[in-house]
Structure 1
Amino acid sequence: MERISLSNSAFEGDNNAYLFTDDSETALIDTGDRTDATREALATALADRGLEFADIDRIFLTHWHHDHCGLAGDIQAESGADVYAHAADAALIEGGEDAWEAMYERQERYFEEWGMPEAEREVLRERMRPDVATTETPTVTPFADGDTFSIPGTELEVVHTPGHAAGLCMFEADLERGREVFSGDTLLPVYTPNVGGADVRVDRPLEKYLRALQQITEADYARAWPGHRDPIDDPAERAQYIIDHHAERSWRVLDALERLGPCDAWTVSADLFGNLDDIHILHGPGESYAHLEHLERAGTVVREGSAYRLADGVADDLAGLEDERWDLEY
């Protein structure tokens, strides 16, 4: 297995594609986005190994976001490669009109519910629609949690970890250190994947993401190969750090409601993150909503229309929680 680092100007850092090859087959996990820089980087890396797009036999995608699946259609067009992704994301990756329209409609409902101003909504409409229109979209073979695939040098086992995306998956494999994992955007070494905004199709996004992180801590993988940046030598420790991060963020949401009074997700987002631009206009209120929704189901927050307020008696407990916010339970 070889890691190929690909260009990416997004805050998560350079994307990774993972190459498996022998005399019988060549496979990739993820492809990077569809920019010229990424295409050139991947083509050059393959050429250095005596390969080209036409030699790729199978592609395994961690999820539908364009920076992970963008070149899948182009590669398939040149090679006839089989492209695999979780069933929840297959239609989006294929560019299905019905799937994308359903996504846009759900986003618009959330924009209204979150209290997003019209000017910011328009920024997102212009930002997002061109990105999903590609000239080459692949035909996708769907897989499910627990499916296994034999590839050069090892066997991949699918682990479905929704939260950041409905079809987000990791791939377990036996490698140099033992049981390792290709974690996609489920576990990143620097940033914490957005939940709530990155895929509005996910119900209970924070709950599902926290469950995925708990799976990682329990699996105690020897190493994680993420979708961005460098390998993670202690995946369980990193997963626990992100769990603690979300506990601290939930405390900050409660603190905002105490100070501001009843308010919508957009107002909470502004308190947490300040002014946002570009795709972060979606991610900020989305993440705030994910926490508010989670706290509402826990009975700590009450929703009235689009506004959220602290449940009766919660404000009295906040002062005591401030010094113990890392222990806020989920």
Structure 2
Amino acid sequence: MERIRLGNTVFEGRNNAYLLPGDRPTLVDAGVATDSVRRDLREGLAAAGNEVADLEAIVLTHWHADHAGLAAELQAESGAPVYVHADDAGIVAGDPDAVSAERSIRERRFDEWRIPGEPRAEVTEYLDGHEDLRGGRVDVTPVEDGDRIAAGDGELEVVHLPGHAAGLSALAFDGERGAGREAYVGDVILPKYTPNVGGADLRVDRPLETYLDSLARLADLDFKRAWPGHRDPISDPAGRARVIAEHHRERTERVVSVLDERGPTDAWTVSAHLFGDLSGIHILHGPGEAFAHLDHLVAEGIVAPPDDEGRYELLDADPDFDELVAVPETKR
């Protein structure tokens, strides 16, 4: 396997793509559709003795542009099938109904979260101004949890781990020389920061609960190593899943504290107390994460559903946070 490091000046920093050489050369993730990333990818393939035309499969961990943007042109040049989980297939394919539905949810959430006019206009301009980074329409082969894809000299098992994105999936494989199971994990877990939940994919229902369930499943699978979509390999994926769950438990406590101190409060205001001033894509991610926690607290009966002004009222100022946000046990 060859890790190809891709630039990414638009979103959250450098990306990883992974080349699996062998009988069926396969690329895991494709990077954002910019000229500099095109060069990075082609140079990385060439350094491994391959070119785009050699690819016989492209597998995407999820639909975000920094993971799927170049898939269309790589497919056009290589003829390779593009695999992605069925929940993300419509957006990757560029299906107008799927893209329109995602945008409609965005507008509804912006209303519900009470994002003010100026930052709302800024983030809308940011998102609409980067539509081209998604790349062109793709002929997608949808996959489901448990499916196996021939890749390189072996196969990848699809492990659906939604939360950050509805279709986000790890791709599990046997490590070299009997080292145990490993996985390409996209943005399920990252080594240095926590993946956004609530704003990164507005289609996800109960985003925090969904993500916590995925962290628990990832920990239970006990992969020996994880290869993330950004930065360096993770040597203890279960331990990292635990750290991220603990982070969300602490954030849940902070959200409760904000409501306790301020009284009924909307998601935008809660976000301001959590993250301060926001710009660019973070105008989406900040209130999205606040919403994910508020939504979880509503479902657990700790907070009342939002009123007509989008304000959440605290019902229980002293909940059991260990019960609210379970942290998975590690096996090491």
Superposition deviation, residue 122 in structure 1 = 1.4
Mapping of 1:237-316 within 5 angstroms? 237-305=239-307, 306-311=310-315, 314-315=316-317
Superposition deviation, residue 91 in structure 1 = 1.2
Matches of 2:142 and 2:224 in 1, distance apart? 28
* 1:90 matched to 2:89: yes
Q: How big is the alpha-carbon RMSD for the aligned residues of Structure 1 and Structure 2? A: 1.6
Which residue identity lines up with residue 201 of structure 1 in the other structure? R
Superposition deviation, residue 153 in structure 1 = 2.9
Mapping of 1:115-194 within 5 angstroms? 115-133=114-132, 136-176=136-176, 177-194=179-196
Aligned residue among 207, 215, 218 for 1:216: 218
Structure 2 contact 11–66 (Cα < 8 Å) conserved: no
Partner of 1:226: 228
Matches of 1:174 and 1:302 in 2, distance apart? 46
Q: Which runs of 5+ in 2 are unaligned?
A: 327-332
Superposition deviation, residue 25 in structure 1 = 2.2
TM-score by length of 1: 0.93
Partner of 2:55: 56
Matches of 1:13 and 1:125 in 2, distance apart? 21
SS in 2 for 1:303: coil
SS in 1 for 2:305: strand
Which residue identity lines up with residue 149 of structure 1 in the other structure? I
Partner of 1:5: 5
Deviations 1:249-275 (A, max 9, x none): 000000000111101100000010000
Structure 2 contact 75–81 (Cα < 8 Å) conserved: yes
Superposition deviation, residue 244 in structure 1 = 0.4
Matches of 1:209 and 1:329 in 2, distance apart? 11
Superposition deviation, residue 213 in structure 1 = 0.4
Structure 2 contact 3–17 (Cα < 8 Å) conserved: yes
Which residue identity lines up with residue 106 of structure 1 in the other structure? I
Structure 2 contact 185–229 (Cα < 8 Å) conserved: yes
Matches of 2:34 and 2:57 in 1, distance apart? 21
SS in 2 for 1:193: coil
Partner of 1:20: 20
SS in 2 for 1:310: coil
Partner of 1:106: 105
Matches of 2:188 and 2:196 in 1, distance apart? 10
Deviations 1:61-111 (A, max 9, x none): 000000000111111111111101111111111112221111111111110
Distance 1:158 1:135, change over 3 A: closer
Structure 2 contact 69–135 (Cα < 8 Å) conserved: no
Superposition deviation, residue 148 in structure 1 = 0.6
Q: Which runs of 5+ in 1 are unaligned?
A: none
Structure 2 contact 212–325 (Cα < 8 Å) conserved: no
Structure 2 contact 33–135 (Cα < 8 Å) conserved: no
Matches of 2:199 and 2:325 in 1, distance apart? 23
SS in 2 for 1:229: coil
Structure 2 contact 161–211 (Cα < 8 Å) conserved: yes
Superposition deviation, residue 132 in structure 1 = 2.6
